[in-house]
Amino acid sequence: MFRRGFPGLGGGGCSSGLPGTIPSLIPFPIPPIFGGGDSGKQKIIDDLRRELRDCKKELEDVKTELRSVKSSRDSAWERENKLERELKEMKEVKESNDRIIASMKSKIEINQKNHDEQIAKRIEEHEEKMSVLKDKNAECLKTAREAHENKMEKLKKEQDQKIKELEEVLKKTKQESEVKQAKIEKENEIMKKKQADELTIHQQEMNKLVEEHQKETEAIRKENEAMRNILEEEKKNHHYLEQNQRSEQSSELTNALTRHVTLEASKRVLKQFLNITKTVQDTSDALKRIQSYCSTESPENNETKIALNVQGLDELKEKFKMEMFQFQQFIIEEQNAKLEILNACKSCLQKFEESMRNQNLLDICLHLPAAIENKSVAEIKELEKKAKELSKEMDGASDEVQKRMQMISTADQLEIMNGGSD
């Protein structure tokens, strides 16, 4: 891309010597295009147009900068004019102040001169008045002195007479006072003696009372000390008994709580175990019914009943598996149950599991419906025999459960069945 210059502008930049107006843009001549086809012509035209837009943009920038310079210059001129006006006003104010100061100085000098003259006049008048007053005061002072001396002479005579009278009164009073003093001293001597006697008697009585008080205090102290020792001993015994009682109560509460927790856990274990026992008993009852239906002369007549009981056996087997799994999970969380109950339940469940997993039970569930349908008498009789043996085995396991439970103490059974109500 290349640039073209404009009159008065240095390559698009702004200089300090810009003219007042910006010359109009000279149209950029488009040179003739020879060869190259339409695409080449269009490219050159596009380049020229793009350069024209750039030149216009630079021109706008120059105009903007010029307006900014003009604005700054106008602002500077305005500030300069304002400063000149303010300076002129300050000069006028200073000249006015100078005139006022000169006028005030002149007034002060005149006032000072008048004041000095008035002071001098007043001093002169005062001296004349003081001279007249001195003459008058000398004459008045002489008269006053004579009157004062006469008055003092008279007062002296009166004072001497009063002093003489007071001396007579003082003499008489002194004599009377001496008589009274002697009488008072005599009475004081008698009073002192009487007080000394009374004090001696009082001191003797006080000593006696103090001695008695000390004896009583000592007796009370000994009695209090003995009582305090007795109270301390009783307090120790009471504290010891109270502590033992608390310990026993705490042990009893702990044991009761432990027993309650154990009984509740044992009760929950037995409840779960009885559910499994009932499932085994239901299985045994179903086998007995199957054995009864198969023992007739025409087992096929009981095909529906046998099928229902076989289906019930399948359901009881699945129920037993689920209850066994739940019981194993349950006893993990119920470790507080009685150990002998847990052991008894585990032993009995082992017997139940052997019966419920017996191959004969599987054969009955798998082959009996088909044997009934095919009227296979020999197979039916064989499966009837297996049902009878398996039912007998389950009854034996149930009887063994009863025996194991009877081995648990009667008191424990009662507590468990009652739910630890104590």
> Which of the pair, 288 or 31, is modelled with greater confidence?
288
pTM above 0.85, yes or no: no
pLDDT at 20 over 60: no
Domain ranges of the chain: 264-418
Angle at 72 between CA 68 and CA 77, to 5 degrees: 150
pLDDT at 330 over 80: yes
pLDDT at 33: 46
pLDDT at 144: 80
pLDDT at 419: 52
> What confidence tier does 320 reach under pLDDT thresholds 50, 70, 90?
very high
Average pLDDT of 376-390? 90
Q: What is the tens place of the pLDDT at every residue in 21-65?
A: 444 544 545 455 445 567 788 888 888 889 899 988 988 998 898
> What confidence tier does 15 reach under pLDDT thresholds 50, 70, 90?
very low
Token pair, residue 272, equals 């779960």
CA distance 115 to 120: 9
List the CATH code of the domain at 264-418. 1.20.120
